[in-house]
Amino acid sequence: MRKNIVAVVGRPNVGKSSLFNALAGKRISIVEDTPGVTRDRIYQDVEWTGHTFTLVDTGGIEPDTSDKILKQMREQAQIAIDTADVILFLVDGKTGLVDADAQVADMLRRSGKPVVLAVNKIDAFERDVPGIYEFYELGLGDPHPLSAANRQGLGDLMDEVVKLFAPDDEEAGEEEDDRIRVAVVGKPNVGKSSIINRLIGKDRLLVSDIAGTTRDAIDTEVIYDDREYIFIDTAGLRRKNKIKEQLERFMIIRSVSAVERAQVVVLVIDAVEGVTEQDAKIAGLAHENGKAVIIAVNKWDLIEKDNKTVKEYTENIRSTLSFMPYAEILFVSAETGQRLTKLYDLIDMVSENHAMRIQTGVLNEVLTRALVMQQPPADKGKPLRIFYMTQVSVRPPTFVVFVNDRELAHFSYMRYLENQLRDAFGFRGTPLKFIVREKEV
């Protein structure tokens, strides 16, 4: 079941980061890095009363003039509109209603997306709450008082947000669709649109453009060799904003929703530029969401090659994206069409591996062999004992390992077991997830 996306919108200094950190339950800016994902996190999975959703911070910008502030606020509000299921619009109760708030509220109101209005910095509820009523002028319904810093009003606010999520049966309907959903993601100008256009070109049967999912993304349905695919295009973002950090923020926000909805993620990298930190951030999104991954190195026709070029490029990608050694790599050219049809074969393969289920008996034969070849570790004389393993879900394949003591199940040994499963069953292109549980002897 896909997660809803809640985007936090508001002008600078209204407390978006404080709200983001309060809901995420930790100070995102100082948590330890997940490989490939920036410290300056702008998205986080949050659970509230049994609902898990992805919270996205659209950021606050400090431009030079009020004209720029309105322009850039409109841009980030538009991205939120495109991306989110629910928009959380944050205003400043201390400053009061300002023109910039009204401008963004007008956009949000016209969008038709559900909006929850939160008035932050209401630190003394009895004293300050009467001051929030001016925000009714925005035409976005009841303003909800909040002190993100003190976590006051947070519960009532989030109850309002989760009320606006799609019913479970609607979400389940989306999951029953057996077409492979492929998100084509990457930095601006790496050739995402060109690749999609080649893949759905005149020699393919283009069935239809599907207008507007809940996130108004451009989804294209394609039939190739009698198999059906949905391509989710994140290339529609073409902003002239020159502020690099803001472009990067937009890129990640757009990628969040595409990755959430996909089963297979095709990360497009520019061969001329090489793999970059921005690429690693998007790759980290796919990895954290447990998606099957193909890295398409585009513009390969522009590279001067010798017999070491592919090996060197592959090593560089593996080094920079070391947290996803399972990802498939394909060198392509959207310009010439080189190897692009092979992308369909890879999508089929990694999708099948992503959904692969192994019988418990077969799984434990591999486990027994692995335990014989490399004894489990011991700590202070107490050895790790692994009783058995079973697969509990797919997309990604997820295994529960029953042990005598979870503390003894070190990362390095679990990685060894993962490698043994990959040797035995392939699992190319898909991450594997392990849950370690203690079993009473």
Q: What are the tens digits of pLDDT across the range 396-413? A: 999 999 999 888 888 899
The residues facing 143 across adjacent strands are 117
Predicted local confidence at residue 55, as pLDDT: 86
Which burial class, exposed, middle or buried, applies to 76 when counting CB atoms under 10 A from its CB (0-12, 13-18, 19+)?
buried
Q: Is the pLDDT of residue 216 over 70?
A: no
Average pLDDT over all residues of the chain: 81
Predicted local confidence at residue 202, as pLDDT: 47
Q: Is the pLDDT of residue 53 over 60?
A: yes
Q: Is the pLDDT of residue 73 over 60?
A: no
**Tally of residues, the chain:** 441
pLDDT category of residue 212 using cuts at 50, 70 and 90:
very low
Contacts of 358 (CB under 8 A, 6+ apart): 391, 397, 421, 425
CATH code that applies to domain 4-169: 3.40.50.300
Q: Is the pLDDT of residue 308 over 80?
A: yes
Most confident among 73-87, 141-155, 173-187, 199-213 (mean pLDDT): 141-155
Is the CATH number of domain 177-354 3.40.50.720? no
User: For the chain, what are the domain ranges?
Assistant: 4-169, 177-354, 360-438
**DSSP one-letter string for 131-180:** GGGGGGGGSSS-EEE-BTTTTBTHHHHHHHHHHTSPPHHHHHHHHH--SE
Question: Phi/psi of residue 438, each to 5°?
Answer: -85, 140
Full-prediction pTM beyond 0.75? no
Structural domain 360-438, CATH architecture: 2-Layer Sandwich (3.30)
Segment 229-276, tens digit of pLDDT: 988 866 544 444 444 555 566 667 778 878 888 999 999 999 999 998
The yes-or-no answer to whether 4-169 and 177-354 have a common fold is: yes
